Amino acid sequence: MTSLRRANQTRDALYRISEATHSADSLRGICDGVRQVITELFPHNDLHLVFYDPVKAVLTVPDWSADRANDWIEGPMQPGTALAEVIGSGQALLTSRDPYQPGLGAITMDGLKSPGPMNWLGVPLISNDSVLGVLVIESPLEQTHYRAADQELLQFIATQVATVVERKRAQDHLRFLAHHDPLTGLTNRSLFYDRLETALKSACRHNSHVALLYLDLNDFKQINDNLGHEAGDQLLIETARRLEQCTRETDTVARMGGDEFTVLLNDIADLAAANAAVSKIREVMAAPMVLEGQRVLISFSVGVALYPEDGHTARNLLGRADSKMYEQKRSL
């Protein structure tokens, strides 16, 4: 391939990837756009777009096995593979494909590239000196031999993909912060109101029930004052985790502020079912927490409001649940 043709191919690939990635509204959409372009550049080759989480030490790849629209596959880092070498070094690597481990690539015991056919090429996705993942192409054919020009083209593409991925993650993070509590990661007050309004409209259409639980931790100020603010934060984070643990995926758990939490139970049968949910939460919350090295028992006051019995609007239900919660708190 002439240098002029390669230059034109590179320019065209970058332009098409730029179009595909900027029009995508999700990380998976970015991956699908990159896949389409690289498949045309390297026909009859396999593409692996791998993302790396250094905190969890896990790899995540889009599941293209059956053209699944949103599925991902997650697994641990496999040491002693070419893929791990690229992530660890931040350097591109040309080596042999491992026929027993698709996408991972083969290296020798001392970390050197395999002496076999050069039919595996991995290029790191780097942004702000951090390795976000690896862009891999490999061929099942032993006569395939990737060259320096292939690596250069892939590196151009990887640079652009890394930039777009980093931007998308930053946008997603800002969007998340706008609707979630930064300490616990729970839905915040604003998003909870939206979820509640949506749930009430659905319940009205389907003649079903919605339950709203309003919880307030007992003696939170005392724990905060005696054990410190870090212990208080740990308590709030653990409370959020436990509330999520004992509710359904269709329910919404929110932190309204301070030590107050709400739980939205969609499509609940009746008040007895709501009270059963409260009992389950009490059981989970009764387990001691370890805060700053001390075992602490936590209790809470809760008010339960049911649609339509206790009100037809979000304001009515929140007011009713809040009132019942404070009635219980005053009785302690």
Catalytic (active-site) positions: 259
Strands 120-127 and 130-138, by their bridges, are antiparallel
Strands 260-268 and 209-217, by their bridges, are antiparallel
The rounded distance, in Å, linking the Cα atoms of 253 and 130 is 34
Within the chain, residue ranges assigned H as helices are: 3-23, 27-41, 82-89, 148-179, 189-206, 220-227, 229-245, 271-285, 314-330
Could you tell me which residues come within 8 angstroms of residue 221 by beta carbon, excluding any fewer than 6 positions away? none
Q: Rounded to the nearest 10 degrees, what angle do helices 3-23 and 148-179 cross at? A: 10
Strands 289-291 and 294-296, by their bridges, are antiparallel
Determine whether 43 is exposed, middle or buried from the number of CB atoms within 10 Å of its CB (0-12, 13-18, 19+): exposed
| Per-residue tokens: 97 | 């494909």
